[in-house]
Structure 1
Amino acid sequence: MSEQPAARKDVVPALADTSGLKEPPTTRRGLRTRAALVASARTVFERDGFLASRLTDITAEASCSTGTFYTYFNSKEEIFLAVMEAARDEMLHPGMPHVEEADDPVAVIEASNRAYFETYKRNGRLMRLQEQVATIDDDFRRRRLERGEAFARRNAKSIQKLQEDGRVDATLDPMMTSRALSGMVSRLAYSSFALGENWSVDDLVETSTRLWANALGLTAER
């Protein structure tokens, strides 16, 4: 497989391909109706799961007819993509921020972990829904993997910069380390906020940050 151009390595792909969706309405009423359908679909999907949800459940939640639904969407799959698109900015997490030379890397890791856990807590049911759809939709699964890879590369670049500055164990492979530690944080979040283990954000941040720091060989700002 050929290497991707360097300029594109950190580009985070969209979670869903919405290019095939119908053009959005141009009237205020149409925009309100479409938005109500998307919000209702998210409620139904999170409540019942993707497979068990029916179009009639969505239209009932939105207090509109099936005919109105088909004005804006062709299928349950299409409105699911619209739900993911609407939640994109809310769920997007940039990974570990770039670490400037003067920054305390442990503090940066802590802030990044806190932002991730808080975002996950707000969207736990939608995260669980993503896991379900990824098992039945190959394109959606591929896009999830691509997004995870992009975030891992961002974190790996930060780890490599810390290695070059002599602040992190130079024997660690940056990409493998990023994948391992990011996977740990992701699984903690999923177990707590999607599956209902219900650990507090503070406890998750404290433990995950300490594990990140210990794994990288960071102790304190030098």
Structure 2
Amino acid sequence: MSAKPTTPKGLRTRQSIVEAGRTVFDRDGFVNARMGDIAEQAGLSMGGLYRYFANKDDVFEAVIADVHEDLFRASVSRDHDFVTEPFEALLQANRGYLQVYYDYRDVMRAFMEAAHVDRRFRDFWWSMRTRHIDRFLRVLEKSGTTGAGASAAESRLVAESLACMVEQSAYVWFAQDELHGAGVDVDEAAHVVTRIWHRSFFQNMEP
């Protein structure tokens, strides 16, 4: 990847390229997107674009990095404690994740496409989901809840399975909404997946 600019103008130009790339990847997907389309969307020459990014993979990585940070920041509970209000805490975290996923549903569809054809993005996807799971397990440990499994290893497996459930549900409901047919409201989706999380880890506590 090309070196990141250090001047305010350079940083603004780079961000405008990332935003242009998001538009192109939203529209065309990962495989069909072209650097020429990104340059045109950003209002730059090809030479100007290549000053900041070596290829479309580098642009896409920057796009996904921004989306991942938004997903990670949104999928926390700031208003509820997992010890005293586990259902509400899970609901706020799941709703935040699903809302951002919905907002970026087209680029997330492109991301899944990229993860299936390019190891670079497969590894990026893996690191993203692992980061979310690790954070949840730290919160779980801090709350003193053992969860459905009797050991840390079993709790990780449960958390991984639930993370897969949320991620795939978001992909089907939002990224593939045309195939799914029936629109799914983000609030409804959050309540559905939260009930499953809650029963798996806090089954002896009423929401």
Fold match by TM threshold 0.5: yes
User: How many residues are treated as equivalent by the alignment?
Assistant: 199
Q: 1:151 to 1:90 in 2, by over 3 A?
A: closer
Q: Is the contact between residue 96 and residue 154 of structure 1 (CA under 8 Å) also seen in structure 2?
A: no
Structure 2 segments unaligned to the other structure (5+ residues): none
| Structure 2 residue identity aligned to 1:38 | V
Residue 205 (structure 1) aligned with residue 190 (structure 2): yes
Q: 1:33 to 1:96 in 2, by over 3 A?
A: closer
Partner of 1:135: 116
| Structure 2 residue identity aligned to 1:195 | Q
In structure 2, distance between residues paired with 1:100 and 1:91: 20
Q: 1:39 to 1:170 in 2, by over 3 A?
A: closer
TM-score, normalised to structure 1, is 0.76
In structure 2, distance between residues paired with 1:21 and 1:109: 39
Q: Is the contact between residue 156 and residue 177 of structure 1 (CA under 8 Å) also seen in structure 2?
A: no
Q: Counterparts in 2 of 1:104-183, with a 5 A limit?
A: 104-160=85-141, 164=144, 168-169=147-148, 171=150, 173-183=154-164
In structure 1, distance between residues paired with 2:82 and 2:28: 48
Question: Bigger radius of gyration, 1 or 2?
Answer: 1
In structure 1, distance between residues paired with 2:25 and 2:110: 7
Q: 1:215 aligns with which of 197, 200, 204?
A: 200
Q: 1:21 to 1:88 in 2, by over 3 A?
A: farther
- Cα distance, 1:24 vs. partner? 0.9
Structure 1 segments unaligned to the other structure (5+ residues): 1-19
**Percent of matched pairs sharing the same residue:** 27
Identify, as 1 or 2, the structure richer in helix.
Answer: 2
| More contact order relative to length (CA 8 Å, sep ≥ 6) | 1
Partner of 2:27: 47
What is the RMSD of the two structures over their aligned residues, measured on CA atoms? 2.7
